[in-house]
Structures are given as C-alpha cells and as structure tokens.
Amino acid sequence: MKLADTTTVQTVIAQILAAQESSRDDGGVETIPLERALGRCLARDLTADRHQPPFNRSAMDGIAIARADLPAAGPQNTLDCPEEAWCFQSLGILAAGQDPGPLAHPGFSGNTSQAGRTPSESEARPSPGAVPLKRAAGTRDNKQAPPLPPCVEIMTGAAVPPGFDTVIRYEDLQRSPDSQAAGKNPPSPEPGPEAGPVRWICRGSIPARGANIHPRGADYQKGAVILEGGQIITSSHIAVLASCGYTQVPLRTLPSITIVATGDELVSPDTTPLDHQIRASNHLSIAGELTSWGFPPGEVRLCPDDPQALTETIRRGLKESRVLILTGAVSKGAYDHIPGILEGLGVEIRIHGVSQRPGKPLLVGRARKAGRADSLVLGLPGNPVSALINLRRYLIPALALQSIPGSSGRIWAPGPASPMSSWAALGFPLRLAREITFEPPLTYYPGVSLEMYQGELTLVPVRGNGSGDFFHLSKTAGFIVMPKDRTRLEAGSLVQFYPWGV
Ligand SMILES: Nc1nc2c(c(=O)[nH]1)N[C@H]1C(S)=C(S)[C@@H](COP(=O)(O)OP(=O)(O)OC[C@H]3O[C@@H](n4cnc5c(N)ncnc54)[C@H](O)[C@@H]3O)O[C@H]1N2
Ligand code: MOO
C-alpha cells in the first residue's frame, strides 16, 4: 500500500480497534498477589466470603443499650441519678476485636457464641432481666429501686453484644461515679470494688433504636458479587478484596508489547553521539506512555536501517508479541524500509497515511498467525512528536478497551465505577483558553498546557517548531483534537483533550 494522506481519523480508530480485537487473547488470565493488582483488570466476578460488616459494629465510642429497656413515657429518676435523666448500669467494657458474647444483655436468651449475628426482632425485644423504670420522680428509696437497665461500654469497631441494639456516644453521657469524665481517651477502666458499679447518665434524648450501629450485612451479604470482572482495580477495591481474603487475584493478562525504534542516526542515550548522530528517545517515551496507562512493554529494541536486521527484528517481534510498535522509517525516504519489510513478512497493511498533523505517515497493519490471535502492527513516524501523539491518540484508548471483556465491536465507555484513568484514556472535553487557527484540511493535534482560569481548568495552546520539536511537547499536559473541517477554534470552546499518562 502506497503512502497516502486521505484516510480519516475515524477509519484509523476503526482499523486499530478491529486489529486489536483480533489480537486479543480472551483466555489470558493470571493470578497475581493483591499488592500488585492495582490498575489491572479483574478477570472474573469475585464474591464475598462473609457479610460486611460481619457483626453489628459499633460506629461510635460510647455505651450500648437495649432501646426496649426504656419506658416510652420518658426519662425517670432512678437510683443515684439526677432528675430527668436516663441511667444505665455498666456490665463492662468492650474493645474492637473482643468477643462480645460474655457481655450479652442479661435478658438475651440466644446463643452468645454467634454473638455477631443480627439480633432477630424477638431477641431485640425488652428483656425480662431489665426492669422498666417505674419510680416516681423525686423518690429516693434505694431499697425499693428496681435495677437499672444494663449497658456495655463499647468502642468503635467492636461487635455490639447480643441483646443490645443502640449506641449512645460518650459526648452525650456522664459517668457516675464521676472520677473519670465520660468520653475520655483511653476510655475509663472499670472502677475497683470499693468504687461501686459504674453508671452512665444520659440527660438528653435517647437516640432511636439502631443508632450508631453499622448493622451486620448492611454493605454486602455473604455470596454477593463484590467486584465485577472487567473492573480496573483501584485502592478502594483493594480494601474490599482484602476484607474478603483475596490475597491472590485473577487478572486479565496484559497484552505483550514490543517496541522497535529504527534509524542509522540513532545511538543509545548512554552513548556520546557523533555530530551527525542523535540519541534515540522515542523508544523510551513510547515505553513510558504505555507504562503510565498500565501497559508496560515487554521488549524495547533499537535497530539500524538495515533491511536484513530489520526483517529479523520484526519477525521476532511479531512472533513474541500481540502488539508490535515500530517507530521511524515509515515515510517516503530511500531508507524507509518498514512498509516493504512488513509486506514481505505477510503483514496486511490496512492503513498507511492519515489526513492529520502530526503523524501523517502512520501505518496500521495486522499480522495473521495460523491458530493464534493476530498481532497488531503500529508503524509510528520517527518524528518524536508524531510518534507520541499517535500512540496516545489511537493505541492507548484501544488498549484500554482491550482490557474490558465483552467490549468487542462496540463504542466503549467505562462502567460508572471505573477509575478516572479509564475515562481519561478516551479523552474528555475541556475549554480552550485561547483561540487556535489551522488552515490545512487535516485533523490537527496541537499540544496544550493546563491552567486554572476563574476556578475552571482550561487548555492553553503551547507553541512548537513542528513534529521534530520534542522539547515543546515536554511543556504540554497533552493535546487536543481540531477536527478536519475546522480552521478556527474560538477561545472558550469545548474541545476534546487527551492528557498524557502520569
Ligand atoms: N517526501 C516526504 N518526506 C516526508 C514525508 C512525506 O510525506 N514525504 N513525511 C514527513 C513526515 S510528516 C514525517 S512525520 C516524517 C516521518 O518519517 P519517518 O517515519 O520515516 O521517520 P524518520 O525519517 O526515520 O525520522 C524522522 C525524524 O525523527 C527522528 N527520529 C527517528 N527515530 C527516532 C527515535 N527513536 N528517537 C528520536 N528521534 C527519532 C529522526 O532522526 C528524524 O529526524 O517524514 C517526513 N518526510
Ligand atoms: O506528519 Mo509529520 O508527523 O507532520 O512530521
């Protein structure tokens, strides 16, 4: 196929998606330790091994009470309590991680070995051991005083003991005897025998039943799908997976990627070049951009413009990888051997030349392999700006798509819970701070920086010296799309922005 420049951007996207889809290995699953799963794509649905929370979890430091122990009429005076207050007698103190069974409500008749279970309605009803307070206000006859309703001092994260159903915060309580103020940290220890029983006094209103308790199974139930296959794993997913004991996670395998940079003028960056040579940089910037979106290349090679060496390097790259990225030697020069070599190796060249700037000589090919998934071949121009912009514009969104199961043939959009990077891979609209004009009838990708203007993130064009000027690219946050049919984009207009990865 001869280098042309009539192919549209839309055709390139369609061809890359088609080639990429055919190079996809749907069976590719690997099991990886959870700590290394961040940013990777989950291969299948994972389910919960227990409820979350696994027990009725106190959400506050304070006391657990049984709401039904209290008479509906309102606070009563009771033994040693001031007027118009609720009083509770402490059975003990419970820290997170302690078995709440021994501190079950005296009236609880269930099995305390299953202390974390959600109390049933009958279990949560007033218990016979807790006598409702019936004494008249002002009465101070200790002998006739009925026992106080029980409570348990409880810390945030502790399992609410069976038979209790409401937590009152320390801030809303006073302790009696008041040798230690309520709400102190560390919480007040049980007094010695001489100090008498600890009572907690609540002068305000008692919160509703269930207050300050995070009920067992409220977030998810045992057996529920906690994470769907196809999800890109973020730090919050790591928390969910860890809580269900998934220390090893099934992940979709990453596409194998080889980068080959070609050119006789190129020397390795660790070499001092002769005056007419340059240090190669594209292979590293391309590898960096791929890695920053979660697709690290397996192999990165430099190769001179020697047809035999190139043929061997490309043959090897096709064999070893699903995506072969070449940079340089795709234009019309006497030493631009790449298209010919690809054709010689049986690669179908689907696109060579796109009506865009930069990146006009872009090449897209597909290598069919008997009995195996195809390989996608991307021939990026050697000019550093063209190489990086084309990679970001076409391959990064296609690779992001590849990691999503079942996305075949559809315009892809990440799921609602997808991380920002999934959305950003596709580009998103932002406002242009300054006008851009461009006359040629080509899709144009000018570099832009980001600036805050009146509280809004805006795009500012960055001037450069063409597609060989990689220095100006280092001052950009990404680039935008100026469609082929536009010669002017006004300041304030919304444009599609493609950020670089980080
Ligand atoms: N007669 C024509 N000449 C050119 C055309 C055309 O249509 N007709 N297209 C121009 C455009 S547009 C581009 S883009 C370049 C792309 O050419 P190649 O892909 O063949 O790239 P090279 O010639 O090999 O290199 C171009 C430029 O980039 C430097 N380079 C190459 N590789 C690297 C690397 N790995 N790291 C850093 N820099 C690299 C190379 O030294 C050259 O300066 O062709 C135009 N010509
Ligand atoms: O299309 Mo080229 O990338 O302008 O130099």
pLDDT digits (tens, 9 = 90+) for 466-486: 999 999 999 999 999 999 999
Q: For residue 401, how far is the Cα from the chain centroid?
A: 16
- Residue nearest (by alpha carbon) to ligand 2 atom 4: 358
Joined tokens for residue 168: 């009152």
Span 224-241, mean pLDDT?
A: 93
Q: What percent of the chain has pLDDT over 70?
A: 82
Interatomic CA distance for residues 176 and 452, integer angstroms = 57
The 10 Å Cβ neighbour count of residue 312 is 13
Predicted local confidence at residue 28, as pLDDT:
80
Ligand that lies nearest to the alpha carbon of residue 287, given by its number in the listed order: 1
Span 429-438, mean pLDDT?
A: 97
Predicted local confidence at residue 401, as pLDDT:
73
Predicted local confidence at residue 113, as pLDDT:
55
CB of 216 within 8 A of CB of 118? yes
52 has a pLDDT exceeding 50: yes
Q: What percent of the chain has pLDDT over 90?
A: 66
Output the CA 387–ligand 1 centroid distance in Å.
Answer: 9
Predicted local confidence at residue 229, as pLDDT:
86
417 has a pLDDT exceeding 80: no
ipTM: 0.96
Which of the residue ranges 415-429, 430-444, 449-463 would you say has the lowest mean pLDDT?
A: 415-429
What is the Rg, in whole angstroms, of the alpha carbon atoms belonging to the chain? Answer: 34
- Residue nearest (by alpha carbon) to ligand 2 atom 5: 467
Interatomic CA distance for residues 19 and 254, integer angstroms = 16
Q: What single letter denotes the amino acid at residue 393?
A: R
What average pLDDT is seen over the chain?
86
Q: Is 389 helix (H, G, I), strand (E, B) or coil?
A: helix
Confidence of residue 196 (pLDDT cuts 50, 70, 90): low
Give the closest residue to 326 by CA, choosing from 387, 417, 407, 367: 387
pTM of the model: 0.82
Output the CA 359–ligand 1 centroid distance in Å.
Answer: 9
CB-ligand 1 contact for 313 (6 Å cutoff): no
48 has a pLDDT exceeding 50: yes
Q: Which residue did the predictor score with more confidence, 6 or 209?
A: 209
Predicted local confidence at residue 121, as pLDDT:
39
Span 153-182, mean pLDDT?
A: 88
Q: Which atom of ligand 2 is least distant from the CA of 385?
A: 3
pLDDT digits (tens, 9 = 90+) for 151-167: 999 999 999 999 999 99
Using alpha carbons only, give the angle 368, 370, 374 rounded to the nearest 5 degrees.
35
Q: Which atom of ligand 2 is least distant from the CA of 360?
A: 1
409 has a pLDDT exceeding 70: no
Mutation to probe ligand 2, out of 351, 386, 388, 445 (largest number of atoms < 8 A from CB)? 386
CB of 376 within 8 A of CB of 12? no
Q: How far is CA 299 from each of CA 117, 248, 249, 266, 321, rounded to the nearest angstrom?
A: 54, 26, 25, 18, 9
Predicted local confidence at residue 187, as pLDDT:
47
Span 366-384, mean pLDDT?
A: 92
414: buried, middle or exposed (CB in 10 Å: 19+, 13-18, 0-12)? Answer: buried
The 10 Å Cβ neighbour count of residue 73 is 9
pLDDT digits (tens, 9 = 90+) for 327-345: 999 988 888 899 999 999 9
Output the CA 284–ligand 2 centroid distance in Å.
Answer: 19
24 has a pLDDT exceeding 90: no
Instruction: Map out the domains of the chain with their CATH numbers.
Output: 9-28+253-402 (3.40.980.10), 53-218 (2.170.190.11), 427-499 (2.40.340.10)
Q: Is 424 helix (H, G, I), strand (E, B) or coil?
A: helix
Instruction: Find the residues whose C-beta lies inside 6 A of ligand 2.
Output: 357-360, 381, 383, 386, 467
Predicted local confidence at residue 237, as pLDDT:
95
Confidence of residue 72 (pLDDT cuts 50, 70, 90): low
Mutation to probe ligand 1, out of 259, 262, 303, 331 (largest number of atoms < 8 A from CB)? 331
Joined tokens for residue 79: 């033994």
Mutation to probe ligand 2, out of 467, 470, 472 (largest number of atoms < 8 A from CB)? 467
Predicted local confidence at residue 437, as pLDDT:
97
Output the CA 275–ligand 2 centroid distance in Å.
Answer: 24
Interatomic CA distance for residues 109 and 492, integer angstroms = 70
Confidence of residue 80 (pLDDT cuts 50, 70, 90): low
- Pairing label, strands 299-303, 257-262: parallel
Confidence of residue 381 (pLDDT cuts 50, 70, 90): very high
Predicted local confidence at residue 194, as pLDDT:
47
- At 88, give phi and psi (nearest 5°): -135, 145
Mutation to probe ligand 2, out of 336, 356, 385, 470 (largest number of atoms < 8 A from CB)? 385
Confidence of residue 144 (pLDDT cuts 50, 70, 90): low
CB-ligand 1 contact for 325 (6 Å cutoff): no
Interatomic CA distance for residues 325 and 313, integer angstroms = 12
Q: Is 88 helix (H, G, I), strand (E, B) or coil?
A: strand
Output the CA 384–ligand 1 centroid distance in Å.
Answer: 8
